[in-house]
């Protein structure tokens, strides 16, 4: 469904992504994990047209996404749930949902689609008239996912969905993602919580300093010493006395 090939992204003189390549099949759940500053969010922003591509290709069903307007990419069924949720805090929950459903011109169809999505999110159904800024962090994350679902995505990109949430809310968010997979939505999940990402996805790419350090099935990588080495940048078998987290002696 989605192919990224030898992707380079720069912010001025700073190279954020250095020849990234990955693939996502229809119906698959894929995670990209790595420490802060690895380039994970930049990858999602490049796919969705938020940042320009310096070199390389991004294709969806064989068609190039590079240089396409954001609305055209969304129209192809690619939707991003951004880091920090990106909701409109001064608008009500209902108004945020209507923003997500604005491509649906028929009012009755729009109402039916919002009702269908709210089946997944009973907590925010009860708060439709409340300003979104007054929701808890977990409720705001649910609202962000619900709003993205109203674009009727074929592939949902999620940037750090567990960031800043209490453990109970993290469990709920991942239960929702599992249900979305059951409905046939393809997932590309960016997470700093690597072990949680492995539990929720079929395959995983480890991104560090703008490069793919390791990739494989989640089952292969779970508990593998080379996974810790790729994520942290040091030999996991070495003792803490002679190795620091960034690989420096």
In angstroms, how far is CA 184 from the centroid of its own chain? 16
Element spanning 177, H or E: helix 167-182
- pLDDT (0 to 100) of residue 86: 82
- pLDDT (0 to 100) of residue 244: 26
Q: Measured on CA atoms in the order 4, 1, 27, 217, is the torsion positive or negative? A: negative
Per-position pLDDT tens, the chain of length 249: 899 999 999 999 999 999 999 999 999 999 999 988 899 999 999 999 999 999 999 999 999 999 999 999 999 999 999 887 788 899 999 999 988 887 777 778 788 888 888 988 888 898 999 999 999 988 998 899 999 998 889 999 999 988 888 888 889 889 989 999 888 999 999 988 888 899 999 999 999 999 999 999 999 998 888 888 888 775 444 433 332 223 332
Domain membership of residue 52 (yes or no) is yes
- Residues in the chain, overall count: 249
Domain membership of residue 247 (yes or no) is no
**Token digits of residue 166:** 């209490």
One domain for residues 192 and 142: no
- pLDDT (0 to 100) of residue 234: 57
- pLDDT (0 to 100) of residue 109: 78
One domain for residues 73 and 186: yes
Number of domains forming the structure of the chain: 2
One domain for residues 65 and 105: no
One domain for residues 55 and 104: no
> What CATH number does the domain containing 192 carry?
3.40.50.300
What's the rounded Cα separation, in Å, for the pair 174 and 191? 12
Q: Which domain holds residue 205?
A: 1-77+153-160+181-236
DSSP 92: B
- Return the half-sphere exposure (C-beta side, CA atoms, 13 A cut-off) of residue 30: 23
One domain for residues 4 and 69: yes
One domain for residues 91 and 143: yes
User: Three-state SS for 109?
Assistant: helix
Q: Global pTM?
A: 0.85
- pLDDT (0 to 100) of residue 99: 85
Domain membership of residue 38 (yes or no) is yes
Residue that the structure tokens 């997500």 belong to? 100
- pLDDT (0 to 100) of residue 242: 32
One domain for residues 102 and 137: yes
One domain for residues 123 and 5: no
C-beta neighbour count of 70 within 10 angstroms:
12
Helices (H) and strands (E) in the chain, counts: 10, 10
User: Three-state SS for 18?
Assistant: strand
Q: Which residues contact 73 (CB under 8 A, 6 or more apart)?
A: 47, 48, 49, 60, 65
Buried b (16+ CB within 10 A) or exposed e, 121-143: beebbebeeeebeebeebbbbbb
Domain membership of residue 173 (yes or no) is no
Domain membership of residue 32 (yes or no) is yes
Closest to 27 (Cα-Cα) out of 201, 242, 234: 201
**Cα–Cα–Cα angle for 214, 182, 39, nearest 5°?**
30
In Å, the largest CA–CA distance within the chain is 65
Helical spans, DSSP H, in 50-106: 70-75, 93-100
CA distances from 232 to 61, 81, 217, 226, 236 (A): 34, 26, 19, 10, 8
- pLDDT (0 to 100) of residue 228: 85
One domain for residues 58 and 105: no
């Amino acid at each position: 469904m989605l192919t990224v090939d030898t992707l380079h992204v720069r912010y001025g003189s700073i190279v954020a992504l250095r020849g990234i390549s990955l693939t996502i099949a229809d119906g698959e759940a894929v995670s990209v994990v790595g420490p802060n500053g690895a380039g994970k969010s930049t990858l999602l922003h490049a796919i969705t047209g938020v940042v320009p591509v310096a070199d390389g290709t991004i294709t969806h069903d064989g068609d190039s996404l590079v240089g396409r307007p954001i609305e055209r990419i969304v129209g192809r069924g690619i939707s991003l749930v951004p880091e920090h949720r990106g909701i409109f805090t001064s608008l009500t929950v209902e108004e945020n949902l209507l923003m997500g459903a604005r491509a649906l011109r028929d009012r009755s169809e729009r109402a039916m689609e919002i009702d269908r999505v709210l089946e997944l999110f009973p907590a925010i159904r009860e708060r439709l008239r409340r300003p979104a800024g007054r929701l808890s962090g977990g409720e705001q994350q649910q609202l962000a996912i619900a709003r993205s679902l109203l674009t009727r995505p074929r592939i949902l990109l999620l940037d750090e969905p567990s960031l800043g949430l209490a453990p109970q809310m993290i469990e709920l968010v991942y239960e929702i993602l599992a249900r979305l997979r059951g409905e046939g939505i393809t997932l590309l999940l960016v997470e700093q919580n690597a072990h949680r990402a492995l539990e929720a996805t079929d395959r995983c790419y480890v991104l560090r300093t703008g490069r793919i350090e390791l990739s494989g099935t989640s089952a292969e990588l779970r508990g593998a010493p080379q996974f810790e080495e790729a994520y942290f940048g040091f030999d996991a078998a070495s003792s803490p006395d002679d190795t620091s987290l960034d690989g420096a002696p």
